[in-house]
Each structure stands twice: as C-alpha cells, then as structure tokens.
Amino acid sequence: MRVCTLASGSSGNCTYIEGNGASVLVDAGLSGKAIKQGLETIGVDPLDLDGIMVTHEHLDHIKGAGILSRRYDLKIYATAMTWEQMLPTVGNIEDCNRGVLRREDYLEIEDLKIECFETSHDAAESIGFCFASGRVKVGITTDTGLLTRQARKHVDGSDLLIFEANHDLDMLKSGRYPWSVKQRILSDRGHMSNIAAGHCLASLISGKTNKVILAHLSRDNNTPELAFKTVADVLQESGLTPGQDLVMEVAPRFGPGTIWDMV
C-alpha cells in the first residue's frame, strides 16, 4: 500500500490511499486545484483515482469533493445523513457517482478492502475508515472526541495509524476561543487532545503497528512539536519509545507529508 497525507488540520484535510491497483482520497477539504497539485507533487494523476471517501460534512473535509467528482468522474462515498448535509456544498453530483455508506459497512474497490466505523463528532453521521491490501492494514481515526468501541475494533492491528491529536489542553483552555467553542472541542463529540491520543495509541499499538501519523492538529491550540512530545511521553510511560518501537510523525498542515510504501 501507499499512503500520504496531502493536508491535515482545520485548514483542510485530504489523504491519498493506494493499494492493489486502486486509489482513493479520504476527504477532499481543499480546493480542487490544491488537491490536484498535491497529487501531482507525489506523482499521482487525478485521472487515476477511483473515488473519494468522506468522513463527514464539515467544510475542511469536503471543500473540493464536488469539483473533483465532476472534473474526473469520481464516485463520492458518504453516509446518507452526510450526503444530506453536504449536498449544498458539493453541488450537483451524478447519481452514478453517489455512493451511500452505512456505519459498519464493508466494500471493495478493485482489490482495496475498506471498512467503515462510527466516530464521535458533532456531525450528522461521522465515520472513520480502515483500508487493507494484501497483508497491510491502515486505520484512519480523526475528528472524534473519543475512541468509539467500533473504531477500536476496526483499527486494532493496523500497520499504520493516522490518528487525531488535535489540541493541547492548557492551550485550549487559556486560548481565545469562546467558552462555548471550548466546551464543544472538549466534549465527547469534539476533538481528541494530545494526552487522550497518547493513551488511546498506547492501548492500540501492538507488535504489528509500527507507524503512527498524528493528524488534524489545531492551528491555534497546538503545535507539531508539542503534539509529538506529549504523545511520545505518554507512550514511553507505557513502555513504547517512538524511534525505537515505532516510527511517529506529525502530518503537515499544508502540503504532502511522507509517502509511506508498505508491503
């Protein structure tokens, strides 16, 4: 499998997944032009894409989905309630390019196996995804206030985890956001903190998991250095040392991150 984040954070989210002759985007929260440029940077022609998997309807996840679908004849996959909420933004999509998912759905695009699972976010019907190709498995869990039971079941045993580390608790609590927004972020339907991410990862990482990408960092309430250090400290308390027991990095906010080729 080949995996690369093209952007991550409140400014826009998009991840490229390729395996066994199929390739998809997870979310398309940038302009169509920016996503095209990101793909070309990593040597991918948008015409070769097989679809767009949408986690939920917030703009930083769907901004470019409609234009990409129309320009490259791409199928968009989302839950029924997500479709209902995002249609005004994505615009007219051909019926043949509307894929309706259910939480706990399983599908295959060519030989790329995809599992859906429930996440806990203030959206209509948010989901996460696992991808499998051959013996390699990738789990993506972002935009969730907690690790749901379904998410844990599905992402367990992933070779690579893309996992939300959205905010530092102290920065958020002392920051400029209105209290109502802080409450939303801190809730079970908000976003996962660095500390929470560390504890969840410590419980998920097994001998099979050797790569972690920290994703969806807040622009105002986190830094890449702080997210990495906080999660690394929690993991070390559990006997796991990044750089020795696993490779860990932070997904860039703008532009492609590391291209992971896994066999």
Encode pLDDT of 46-72 as tens digits: 999 999 999 999 999 999 999 999 999
Mean pLDDT for 121-145 is 97
Inter-residue contact 71 to 47 (CB < 8 Å) = no
Q: What is the pLDDT of residue 13?
A: 98
Looking only at the bridges linking them, the beta strands covering 136-141 and 112-118 are: unpaired
Phi then psi for 87, rounded to 5 degrees?
-55, -40
In whole angstroms, give the CA distance from residue 17 to residue 15. Answer: 7
Average pLDDT over residues 4-10: 96
CA distance 88 to 134: 38
Cβ contacts of residue 48 below 8 Å, gap of 6+? 23
Q: What is the pLDDT of residue 206?
A: 81
Q: Who wins on pLDDT, 208 or 183?
A: 183
Q: pLDDT by residue (tens digit) across 186-245?
A: 999 999 999 999 999 999 998 889 999 999 999 999 999 999 999 999 999 999 999 999
pLDDT of 154 reads: 96
The first and second tokens of residue 186, run together, are 């801190």
Average pLDDT, the chain: 97
Query: Is the pLDDT score of 21 beyond 90?
Result: no
User: What does the pLDDT read at residue 5?
Assistant: 98
pTM above 0.85, yes or no: yes
**8 A C-beta contact, residue 217 and residue 7:** no
Q: Output the CA–CA distances (angstroms, integers) from residue 23 to 65, 123, 158, 258, 259, in the order listed.
A: 15, 26, 18, 17, 14
Rounded mean pLDDT, 14-37: 97
Predicted local confidence at residue 20, as pLDDT: 86
Mean pLDDT over 135-160 rounds to: 96
- The pLDDT of residue 125 is 97
What does the pLDDT average to over 118-124? Answer: 97
